[in-house]
Structure 1
Amino acid sequence: VNVGKEGEDLSRHDKWLCMMYPRLVLLHRLLRPDGAIFVSIDDNELGHLQLILDEIFGTANRISNFIWEKRTNRENRKEVSYRHDYILAYRKDSNALGAKVRLLTMTPDALARYKNPDNDPRGPWKSDPATAQAGHATASQFYELMAPIGKKHTLPSGRCWVYTEDIMNGEIDAGKIWFGSDGNGVPRIKTYLHSKERGLVPETLWFANDVSTNEGAKNELKEIFDGQAVFETPKPHELIHRVLEIASEKDSIILDSFAGSGATAHAVLNLNKQDGGNRKFILVEMMDYAESITAERVRRVMQGYGEGKKAVEGTGGAFDYYTLGQPLFNADQNLNEAVGTERIREYIWYSETRSPLPASAPAANGKAARGKGLANNPYLLGTHEGMALYFVYEPERLTTLDHELLATLPVKGAPTLIYADNCLLPKKFLEQHGIVFKKIPRDISRF
């Protein structure tokens, strides 16, 4: 079968997997225990993606494979018109506290189904079947039901009552079973609106009417950018809104590592405005449009855009824009001296404390402290939770932790963590004096 030049490259799937696998491993590490990941994909790599997600996250943590109707018009250029993409969803840990799929907000259509024709004091309700499939029923769920007006109701073949007879009679007495306006109808269970205020269970099919399409997103981008078509296949922010609604809390941090047109930030800002949330977003985009499209869209959504009847009020908010700096490590895994010793020191401190290096820390050159702090030692980073941290590093030579170096360190008697190239002190000596040695670059944490 002739599938074209792309099909002749049998390694194309391998290349894609080699690109995705380490990124997904890193994203798994970044997620908090109750966090979740949603990955949009088309037919081409769906099978491969699910396999690596199963391996990294575990099949027990798979939430679902959602289907998104990305277009509503027929595409006549191809043999088959593809109208949908997939969104694979996984949890970090299904057993973690708070790891759950949240319910969707009740839609106007869903709310319209709740009425109160009998003036039930419990408020609006809708009716649901009082029978279920009989496959796992017990004997107590098979009986003849007597309506209040005396009419007998028998079960259809293959069905059982949802309740046992005692419970059913109690629900009838409480007015929670509906027999129609004349009392002769098939019995149905009342489901009250107050019990459904928590929302709707998400379904696997996400239709365009609810979460929009690529075309809808493209048209909205044109409105944001004064009529210019700036992005070919953007995701609609309504689609991301659906993801946020079922997978985030009001204070969640949302990371989009393929930010594209910035739809994720748009969705976060809109949702925060709607419910008063304080969600934060992190967008990562490596293409050259990161500033001109991705970041610019976020600015315009925050400030508002459009004119006259088409004007859209801004959501408010603020964000910082950063460009990627030099890598901390070279290809051979040695420290990249081009980033500068001070940046390396900041990274070491953060890797140990998960906090920024204090302004009071001595400067790396040993000549002047950056602020009022501890002794002006070129290797001292500072103290954290009672432990002194040192980064003994010199770009021009190897450093060694020995008695001579130890004598120069200003913090005495406290637990001590020392990074250096080599160590000549015996392990027993280190243990006796509360010293932890970490070798440069081997023991520097990689994120």
Structure 2
Amino acid sequence: MPEIVFKGKEYVYNHHLTVPYRPLLVDVAKGIGPADLGSNLIIHGDNLHALKSLLPRYAGQVDLVFIDPPYNTGNEGWCYSDGVNSPIMKEWLSTNPVDGEDMLRHDKWLCMMWPRLVLLRELLSERGSIWITLDDNEVHHARDILDEIFGADNFVATCIWQKNFSPKNTAQFFSEDHDYVLIYAKDKQLWRPNLLERTQEMDDRFTNTDNDPRGPWTSGDLSARNYYSEGTYSITCPSGRVIEGPPPGTYWRVKESKFKEMDADGRIWWGEDGANQPRLKRYLTDVKQGRTPQTLWFYNEVGHTQDAKKTLLEMGVLKDQESTITPKPVALIERILELASEPDSLILDSFAGSGTTAHAVLKANAKDGGRRRFILVEGEDYADK
């Protein structure tokens, strides 16, 4: 498998091993509820040290990791300060904000992410998954290091989140209206996403015009293009009309004896007058009790960036809409929880920022009576506020 090469990789490859274990100290004055490490946690400090300190208690216990790391756009001013001991690394690493003029900023981003992703993988359970939001600045690099750390076979999908509801007319080339959500499983052979709830529109497609005791149904085509050796025979409709065979280039989906058996059981629909081409009745009770998730996520379903800022404005975290903070909408994290968590899951967000993940976890628990727990790690002062 190809390996990604970046400046400093040899020095950060095993950097997580040299990071010391630090005790997690409960601040009783700021906490709510039991003063222990078994409930919801907000850890204030460097997330690399926090992840290492979580290992003794939580290795292999986390069901879902969601992170929203620096996008490395060149306008964020994030700092690289991992304290790697190599003198060569210290020659070019700086604790000054990384910006667009820094020719090594992509290497520094990779150096920052590598040990954190290694530790996040160790914290994941065997049936766990990691979800990462990014844009075009680093998504291609992220795929490379995730392939190397998690294994390319454990890549699940890249979802497209429509983050803007209107085009940015000030864009020089294109209005960038989407971000990515990368999904990797700890072990794709064991992990599966949950189904989304069926919509009322989906259920409304099923009716019961003939009072079938099996309940609401919809009809499906009896013919298909796939070759079937027993799929060419004539059919006589209840009205007496004879259909010589399936439409040209197609075959009946079932053999003649099976068709007659289904018709006798009331599983064939001939239309109101009994003269239409027969169709198979598909019952609501037989369909998958949920929606298979898709990779296109539209803002009207999972929110957009203005939704996220509006929430923080209402909470008093932001003072105005012009703030450069880029939080994710609660609905986006709720969608991820719906797909990747169970009612008793442990969720970890090591780039927690303003705490949207905790907000979404609490909403999910309120919705289904779950006991999900969260662990947030943040280096800013949101927790104090």
Q: Distance in 2 between matches of 1:89 and 1:4?
A: 25
2:282 is matched with which residue? 191
Q: Distance in 2 between matches of 1:197 and 1:71?
A: 32
The 8 Å contact of residues 234 and 242 in structure 2, kept in 1 or not, is answered as no
Greater RCO (Cα-Cα under 8 Å, separation 6 or more): 2
Q: Distance in 1 between matches of 2:271 and 2:319?
A: 57
Letter in 2 for 1:100: R
Q: Distance in 1 between matches of 2:222 and 2:353?
A: 48
2:272 is matched with which residue? 181
The 8 Å contact of residues 141 and 160 in structure 1, kept in 2 or not, is answered as yes
Deviations 1:351-382 (A, max 9, x none): xxxxxxxxxxxxxxxxxxxxxxxxxxxxxxxx
1:204-353 to 2 correspondence within 5 Å? 204-225=295-316, 228-229=319-320, 232-292=325-385
The 8 Å contact of residues 147 and 153 in structure 1, kept in 2 or not, is answered as no
Q: Secondary structure at the match of 1:269?
A: helix
CA separation of 1:126 and 1:219: change in aligned 2, threshold 3 A: farther
CA separation of 1:23 and 1:227: change in aligned 2, threshold 3 A: closer
- Within the alignment, does 1:119 sit opposite 2:227 as a pair? no
1:101-116 to 2 correspondence within 5 Å? 101-116=193-208
Deviation at 1:31, TM superposition (A): 0.7
The 8 Å contact of residues 160 and 179 in structure 2, kept in 1 or not, is answered as yes
Q: Distance in 1 between matches of 2:374 and 2:244?
A: 56
1:50 is matched with which residue? 143
Deviation at 1:49, TM superposition (A): 1.2
Deviation at 1:111, TM superposition (A): 2.3
Deviation at 1:141, TM superposition (A): 4.0
Q: Which piece of structure 1 moves more, 85-94 or 258-267? A: 258-267
Deviation at 1:24, TM superposition (A): 1.3
Deviation at 1:157, TM superposition (A): 5.1
Letter in 2 for 1:82: E
Deviations 1:36-85 (A, max 9, x none): 11111111212111122222222322221111111110111112011111
Q: Distance in 2 between matches of 1:245 and 1:151?
A: 50
CA separation of 1:121 and 1:49: change in aligned 2, threshold 3 A: same
Residue of 159, 169, 181 corresponding to 1:87 = 181
Deviation at 1:253, TM superposition (A): 0.6
Q: Distance in 2 between matches of 1:56 and 1:103?
A: 27
Q: Secondary structure at the match of 2:127?
A: coil
Deviations 1:129-177 (A, max 9, x none): 444442xx44234555554444427444554444444434433332223
Q: Secondary structure at the match of 2:125?
A: coil
Deviation at 1:91, TM superposition (A): 1.2
Q: Secondary structure at the match of 1:44?
A: coil
Q: Distance in 1 between matches of 2:249 and 2:378?
A: 56
Letter in 1 for 2:290: G
- Within the alignment, does 1:172 sit opposite 2:263 as a pair? yes
Percent identity reads 47
The 8 Å contact of residues 106 and 197 in structure 1, kept in 2 or not, is answered as no
Q: Distance in 1 between matches of 2:250 and 2:110?
A: 48
CA separation of 1:159 and 1:72: change in aligned 2, threshold 3 A: farther
Aligned length: 286
Q: Which piece of structure 1 moves more, 58-67 or 173-182? A: 173-182
Letter in 2 for 1:175: G
Letter in 2 for 1:258: F
Deviation at 1:234, TM superposition (A): 1.8
Deviations 1:77-112 (A, max 9, x none): 11201111111111111233xx21111111222222
The 8 Å contact of residues 61 and 91 in structure 1, kept in 2 or not, is answered as yes
TM-score (norm 1): 0.58
Q: Secondary structure at the match of 1:33?
A: strand
Q: Distance in 2 between matches of 1:287 and 1:43?
A: 25
Q: Secondary structure at the match of 2:138?
A: helix
CA separation of 1:208 and 1:194: change in aligned 2, threshold 3 A: same
1:152 is matched with which residue? 243
Q: Distance in 2 between matches of 1:57 and 1:236?
A: 27
- Within the alignment, does 1:140 sit opposite 2:230 as a pair? yes
CA separation of 1:260 and 1:227: change in aligned 2, threshold 3 A: closer
Q: Distance in 2 between matches of 1:60 and 1:141?
A: 39
The 8 Å contact of residues 153 and 186 in structure 1, kept in 2 or not, is answered as no
Deviation at 1:201, TM superposition (A): 0.9
CA separation of 1:105 and 1:182: change in aligned 2, threshold 3 A: same
RMSD: 2.8
Deviation at 1:271, TM superposition (A): 1.4
The 8 Å contact of residues 129 and 185 in structure 2, kept in 1 or not, is answered as yes
The 8 Å contact of residues 228 and 252 in structure 2, kept in 1 or not, is answered as no
Deviation at 1:214, TM superposition (A): 1.1
Q: Which is higher, the Rg of structure 1 or of structure 2?
A: 1
Deviation at 1:233, TM superposition (A): 2.3
Q: Distance in 2 between matches of 1:262 and 1:62?
A: 27
CA separation of 1:60 and 1:218: change in aligned 2, threshold 3 A: same
Letter in 2 for 1:203: Q
CA separation of 1:254 and 1:138: change in aligned 2, threshold 3 A: same
CA separation of 1:12 and 1:199: change in aligned 2, threshold 3 A: same
Q: Which piece of structure 1 moves more, 4-13 or 216-225? A: 4-13
TM-score (norm 2): 0.66
